Structure 1
Amino acid sequence: MAHSLEHLVVRHTRRLPSPTGPAGDGTAVARRFDAALMTAGFKLSTELIERLSGLTEATVVGTAVRTLATVRELVGDHVRHNVYFVDFPANVPDTLDFWTACLAEALDDGDGRAGTVDQLRAGVLDLLSLPSYGRYQHTYEEMLAVHDELIAAAGDRLTVLHLGADADTEVTALYLALAGSTAPLGEEHLRDLAVLAEHGADGPQPEVIPVRENRAVVNAARIRVGAAPLFDTVTDVLRLACALADGDVTLREPTRFRALSRPHRRALLAGLDAVVAASPAKLSDVSAHGEAWKRLGERLHPHEYPHWPHAAEVFAVARGERRAPSFDSRVEEMLVRGDVAGAAELLASHAPGRLFRALDRLLRGAAGGEEREAVLAAVERAAPEVSGRVVLSVREHVQNRAGGSGGARRVFVNREGKAWVTDDARPPLEDSDRRRVIEVLDAETRRRLPSPERLLIDPDVLDVALPLSGRAASAGLGVLPRGSVSPVEGELLRFFTYWRQARYTTDLDLSALVLDADYSTVTWLSYTALTDVEGRHSGDITEAPDGASEFIDLRLGAVRGTFIVPQVHVFSGEGFDEVAEGFFGFMLREGEQRGRPFEPRTVRMKSDLRGPGRVALPLAFRRDDEGRWHAHWLHLYLRGAPSANRVEGHRVTIAVVMRALLGRTHLTVRHLVALMEESGAKTTLWDGRTVPEGPVTYIGLERPEGLAPGSRVLTPENLRDLLPA
């Protein structure tokens, strides 16, 4: 199996495909492999050690080299994390003392003295221009030399790598899981699906591919190997054309279509012709992406293929030469006339998913009890035809529509994680309507959920938000979907960010804002406030063509406040979507643990920074009434300013976003577990040590060792499989 495919399996499943090779005695090398993994916070399962021990040393070494590279990248240990202050977190100076020292060094520096003096004479000094500021003053090796070895602690993270099936089985299973996902995938998962689809295009295929973006990626792979693409709407054809042009299959951004080969043109036009011939009504979907169809037509040359006349009709509609009113326009006309009941009936009969998405508007627009009853009756009839993800999404929406709108704020988060807040001017829904809708949705979800005899549940997974969209979380290690809440146990909390510029000098800044229970600012840590609340900033790096890291250290017991909000700002240069590499994470340590600024075994979370805007808010930390801390997962990006973003300038905006988002109730794993219990499942909360003898359905943050054969395992990596179809 290609090493890249093995890498994907390990990263997505925490399983190592069963290694193959000549028999031998690899026991000693396997033990060294395990020890090396433990320095990165991973270890081999007992089964995996036994498997490796029966292979030759050379085979084990090759497996170890590849696997260590994968897990080190997962945790962020594949790069060198240097710091500005060589012995951070010790001896971080007071902010004023630091700037004074930088100025003194500039005046003592023969090369830089003249420029500094000129600035002082002019009465304005650019502190960031001081020669010693923002640039590493020591090598990575010199930094390592001043730090003691990390002392292992019981709280250090230890992620177990399990023995998988043979390579082909693992790769096929991962392909089927991603292609058949009921929730949209994030960008990284879509890229991985493209690799897997290319490999498995002529092998087993999922019974259904419910997410259209996934279907486009699979179709692109199928057409490249000569297999027939899968179409049932004209938009499927457009998405495939975007995939072949390396464009945006979500159709949010315009794609610049390239010249297509004749076989690809024929496949696209034949697909269009077949879709429209089977259902001419599907021409109504064309107008939604009319400009894209016009541009694609310039590349497909449909006039050269008169034997596919129905394909030509698509482009006639796009050019406005043929009228094909969209389904949405018909619904809109009925709503404008005030025919809410008729619109609900039309949606229930022809587009039940759209009925559910329009439910709030329909209930608000109903003129009286009879019209509301007609809408609710339509929902009850249509529920079995709506995807499980939409059922759960509407359930989450409706549970957050209680009460009036006076003074309420509404937070919007788009598919890219960009957030904004506005006043909620919507009138409230009737409580009786809300309760009835919730009962219908819960009954439908309960009907579709599996009925396992035995559920083994890690208590820490109960407050993990359901992954209703793969775009509600960034790629990485230990990352949970937006809206999840997870416990934080440790004395020292250390944030880190790393970036490597692609083309231009780039300065990202790590900061942490502390808020009180009313979301008012208590203090912050940044390059403008190096020390406070027993916290320390590692120093600002402004130039690092080979990559740069910044850290913030906090002793949780010393924090005066309720919230800690770490954030990464683009001060200058490339944005998060433009840098060659960028990620954020946090570590937890015990009070007496030493070690380097970055110790992979203490990393609890590492997520990629890829999103719009110039301010990233990965997560926040909240202290409850009993003094315990919890992580609240955000995965948000704020627009910010084009340059010079600082924590001081975004305090109010961040407080408003935090108040709105944390005031929202998300559907969590707890909700689905409760529904399965109502259907008769017997639930046991896992104690973290022992596992039952027989097969179970396990839901948790990490897979335990020793589960009986036949057990079903659901962890954050595949939690989407818990969502009913």
Structure 2
Amino acid sequence: METDLLHVALRAGAIYLPDDLPTGTPAQITGPVLGVTSQLLKLGYAPTEQLLHALNGVPPTQLLQILDVVNEVMGTDLNWAPLVRGWDIPTGETFADHLVTLVANLWGEEAGFHGTRLPCGHLIPDGTFPLERYNGCPFCGRQFDTAGFVYQGQGSKLKPLQLWRDAELAAHLRLLLESTVPLNATQADSLKRLLRHLPWPQGIDIKMKETSMLVVDALVEAGHDEQAGTLLTSPTDVLRYLWYRHTGYAQLVKPRTLVNKARIAHSHHYLPLDDSQQAAQDKENALRLHYDRRWCRRVAAWLNALDIDPEKACEQMHPHRAMWVRFIRALRLVEYSHRPSHERLNALLTAFHSQQYPVWQGRVNAGKLKRDTAATLALLKQRPGAFARCLLSTMLWFGPEEVLPAFAQVAHGLPPRLLLTLGSLAAGYFDGEKRMVRPVAAAGRLVDPNPLLRLYSQQQRDDMAIAVNDIYRQSMRRRWEAQQPAASTVYIDPRLDAVPVPVGDRSTTVHDAGSALQGTRFAVEGDNVRIFLQWGKGLPAMHLDMDLSVAITYDDHEEQCAYFNLAPQGAKHSGDIREIPDQVGTAEYVELDLPVLTQRGARFAVFSCNAYSNGELSPGLTVGWMDSRHRMAVDEKTGVAYDPSTVTQLIRIGNDNAKGLVFGVLDVARRVIIWLEMPYGGQNVLALNTAGINAFLKKLAAKPTVGQMLRDKAEVQHLTVTDKRDSADEAYTYQWALDTAAVASVLLKE
């Protein structure tokens, strides 16, 4: 059984069993299956009855394989011991302890300091740190003692595990390939795994260019260059794939953006440790292009096969002309263009180098500067997608009276995801306040409102937002009316009213234990929330300082629970580890006491992790939080406080990382945790801008919810909404909504 397929199914809340396995019987459950079920329950998973019966036909060796995958995902074989043993009781360490220890290590025992010499070489003076409470050095943060166990079975909620067969796996592959919204990091990783093991489905229509890049890469790796070329329909597609292959980004991110990202990630508070300039130079060197003859022939053949007018192709190439110049040189395309049967490539490069081609965007910009409304709108209507992306600013430039009717004429040709994004962004754009934006490969940032907003009254701006929203709603109604529903009754899970539609804020982290859409709200069951961070898996012992922090906001001030403030009221930190042990990684925890925070008037608690060391967050780093109605233990001897059965959310950092990441916001009064993903720059939580978080939450709140859109769709299609799931023709559950591709196939079908 392929572990890749088990991982993909587990992300969807299922266990995959191939069709060629023996079919289980509903007879008495066998001993091995009972053993696996018992282990899964301790890890927080509950197999359905159908899955239990199917497992009866699985050999014991493959049952072990399933259990190994679940344990790997939940990290039960890693070191979960923090720096402090029994850290739920603070050690009482102070800044003075660190200062005295620093002086003692500078002057040594010869100056009269007496204490304990640790394996790291540091002298801990008597009367400072209580060494019996530590698993390592409290001064340098090196961990000496690790733990080989985790708690199990303390959770008060179980995650159901469904049965997947070959048909469900193939349907999931088709759903990912035909998704009408960009795939997030989890879906992209799942698609790569599925393409390695499943046959290519027939009749696939790939909607997203970024999805095409993943498929092209799989085909190239399999040696199917000609088939891959059929998915590259323009020079921009070819450039996008080459850049994806070179950098891992399926979007055309400019080289200077990646260089600046490396420079920021390697900056340091302590100037002698700042290697930002060297990191920027290293990134520039890494971005240099080098191709062998095999790749030169491959790309030349792709470009030569494009059936497109050279001038039109050059116009598409123009926005990235500097990148094209580098690729043309590195791929020796001029040389290949002179070879027989490469006439199209020759014509393309001749037009490109002569620069005798019109540029659509230049004509649009000229029309705006000349205030030529008719000519500018005529050009914009030629490209509805570009019109949609500049609609809001164009309304301010020319006025909504002429712009909106022109846009309404072409709105029917736009993908629903673009219309939905416009509708949800309009109110925030026209309210005149700063907005949160998140450029590709960069941290989120606040941007000032458009200065042209000052030319309009508040009522006019409100009317503009309503008008844009009306266009979006009318367009969606027309699309739904044109569809032929297969059902007459539908069930809509009430929890879907708290799940935003998955458009515009894709996740760049991997959710191995189950997905969640940004903006989803998780109710807190107990009086404590425990946040965790685990990093260093598979790495040798080294200095690698990752930090877990919580920023607690009050009406008049803000407090942090971090390495520099281990025990503020209502929160406890497990200690700062800066040097990881060999291969098994290490952990940090923060526990929040909700009754204390409520009593003190706390409003929000923001969960954050940062890379204090030079560089970005370590790939493979895992963060999340635990919650249970039952008491969650902390081991007195090792400090281990991890229990997979209590995990509410668990994410793994991929390769597209930032210096810091906000991964959750606790609304203390409402006792709900809002899942979000907001990268930011800075070595610790003090760099966090709470105004940016508020703007991001406002942006998420402006999105329509899945439940709301399903009810609107049911109303348009004259379907009956029932509260009885079993009797409904179609049931839209919370588990279904966690798959963004599935949601898009129902609500945003083109």
Query: What TM-score bracket applies, with the shorter chain setting the length?
Result: 0.7 to 0.9
**Alignment deviations for residues 496-515 of structure 1 (CA, whole Å, 9 cap, x no partner):** 01111758621111111110
Q: 1:646 to 1:225 in 2, by over 3 A?
A: closer
Q: Deviations over 1:29-87 (max 9, x none)?
A: 1121111111211121110111122x2xxx44233223223333433435221122222
Counterpart CA distance in 2 for 1:45 and 1:380 is 49
Report the CA distance between 1:455 and its aligned residue.
2.7
1:590 aligns with 2:633: no
The answer to whether the Cα contact below 8 Å between 2:529 and 2:626 also exists between their aligned partners in 1 is yes
Q: Which residue does 1:122 correspond to in 2?
A: none
Normalised by the length of structure 1, the TM-score is 0.83
Counterpart of 1:457, as a letter, is I
The amino acid that maps onto 1:212 is K
Contact 1:714 1:721 in 2 (8 A): no
Q: 1:473 to 1:693 in 2, by over 3 A?
A: farther
Distance 1:481 1:107 in 2: 55
Q: For the residues of structure 2 that align with 1:161 and 1:261, how far apart are their CA atoms? A: 49
Count the aligned residue pairs.
Answer: 665
**Structure 2 contact 436–696 (Cα < 8 Å) conserved:** yes
Retained in 2: the 8 A contact 1:242–1:249? yes
Equivalent position of 1:420 in the other structure: 445
Q: Which secondary structure state, in structure 1, belongs to the residue aligned with residue 675 of structure 2?
A: strand
- Amino acid corresponding to residue 585 of structure 1 in structure 2: G
Distance 1:13 1:206 in 2: 27
Given that residues 151 and 593 in structure 1 are in contact (C-alpha distance below 8 angstroms), is that contact kept between their aligned partners in structure 2? Answer: no
Q: Which amino acid aligns with 1:495?
A: I
Aligned with 1:293: secondary structure? helix
Per the alignment, do residues 435 and 599 of structure 1 end up closer, same or farther by CA in structure 2, a change over 3 Å counting?
A: same
The TM-score, its normalising length taken from structure 2, stands at: 0.80
Report how far residue 137 of structure 1 moved.
5.0
Aligned 8 A contact 1:415 1:471 in 2: no
Distance 1:657 1:288, change over 3 A: same
Instruction: Give the match for residue 221 of structure 1.
Output: 218
Structure 1 residue 563: Cα displacement: 0.2
Map of 2:743 onto structure 1: 719
Cα distance between partner residues in 2 of 1:508 and 1:107: 32
Match of 2:320 among 289, 293, 311: 289
SS of the aligned residue for 1:524 comes to strand
Aligned residues of 1:506 and 1:572 also touching (Cα < 8 A): yes
Amino acid at match of 2:649: M
2-structure distance, mates of 1:506, 1:558: 33
Q: Is the 8 A contact 1:506 1:542 kept in 2?
A: yes
Tell me, in whole angstroms, the C-alpha distance in 2 between the residues paired with 1:115 and 1:219.
54
Residues 197 and 217 in structure 1, CA contact (< 8 A), matched pair in contact too: no
How big is the alpha-carbon RMSD for the aligned residues of Structure 1 and Structure 2?
3.4
Residues 176-185 or 187-196, more deviating: 187-196
Q: State the one-letter code of the partner of 2:239.
A: L
Determine the structure 1 residue equivalent to 2:499: 464
Shift of 1:490: 2.1
1:570-649 aligned within 5 A: 570-576=611-617, 579-590=618-629, 592-594=631-633, 596-610=640-654, 611-623=656-668, 627-640=669-682, 645-647=683-685, 649=686
Secondary structure of 2:543's match?
Answer: coil
CA distance in 1, matches of 2:195, 2:31: 38
CA distance in 2, matches of 1:293, 1:347: 26
Partner of 2:421, secondary structure, is helix
* Residue identity in the other structure for 2:622: F
Structure 2 residues not aligned, in runs of 5+: 106-112, 126-135, 256-286, 635-639
AA aligned to 1:178 is L
Q: Which residue of 2 aligns with 1:530?
A: 566
CA-to-aligned-CA distance 1:204-232 (integer Å, 9 cap, x gap): 24532121121122123334343523232
Indicate conservation of the 8 Å contact 1:506/1:574, yes or no: no
Residues in 1 aligned to 2:66 and 2:528: alpha-carbon distance in whole angstroms: 30
Distance 1:377-1:422 versus aligned 2 partners, 3 A rule: closer
* 2:424–2:703 contact (8 Å) kept in structure 1: yes
Could you say which residue in structure 2 is the equivalent of 1:698?
732
CA distance in 2, matches of 1:310, 1:299: 16
CA shift, 1:19, in A, is: 5.7
CA–CA distance in structure 2, aligned partners of residues 112 and 605 of structure 1: 36
Hey, what's the Cα distance between the residues in 1 that align with 2:206 and 2:437?
A: 28
Alignment of 1:255-334 (within 5 A): 256-260=288-292, 262=294, 265-277=296-308, 280-297=311-328, 298-301=330-333, 302-318=336-352, 320-334=353-367
Q: CA separation in 2, counterparts of 1:256 and 1:189?
A: 30
2:524 is matched with which residue? 488
User: Aligned equivalents of 1:261 and 1:100: distance in 2?
Assistant: 59
In structure 2, what is the equivalent of residue 708 of structure 1?
A: none
Query: CA distance change for structure 1 residues 284 and 185 in 2, over 3 Å: closer, same or farther?
Result: same
What 5-or-longer segments of structure 1 have no aligned partner? 119-128, 704-712
C-alpha displacement of 1:12: 4.1
In the TM superposition, residue 267 of structure 1 has moved relative to its aligned partner by 4.8
1:670 to 697, 707, 713: 707
| Residues 414, 564 of structure 1: alpha-carbon distance in 2 compared, 3 angstrom cutoff | same
Structure 2 residue 143 is the aligned partner of structure 1 residue 136: yes
Distance 1:76 1:721, change over 3 A: farther
One-letter code aligned to 1:288: P
Supply the distance in 2 between the matched residues of 1:317 and 1:488 (Cα, whole angstroms).
Answer: 62
Q: CA deviation at 1:582?
A: 0.6
User: Is residue 569 of structure 2 the alignment partner of residue 569 of structure 1?
Assistant: no
Partner of 2:414: 386
Deviation at 1:280, TM superposition (A): 4.6
Alignment of 1:319-358 (within 5 A): 320-348=353-381, 350-358=382-390
**1:191-230 residue pairs with structure 2 within 5 A?**
191-200=189-198, 203-205=200-202, 207-223=204-220, 224-226=222-224, 227-228=226-227, 229=229, 230=231
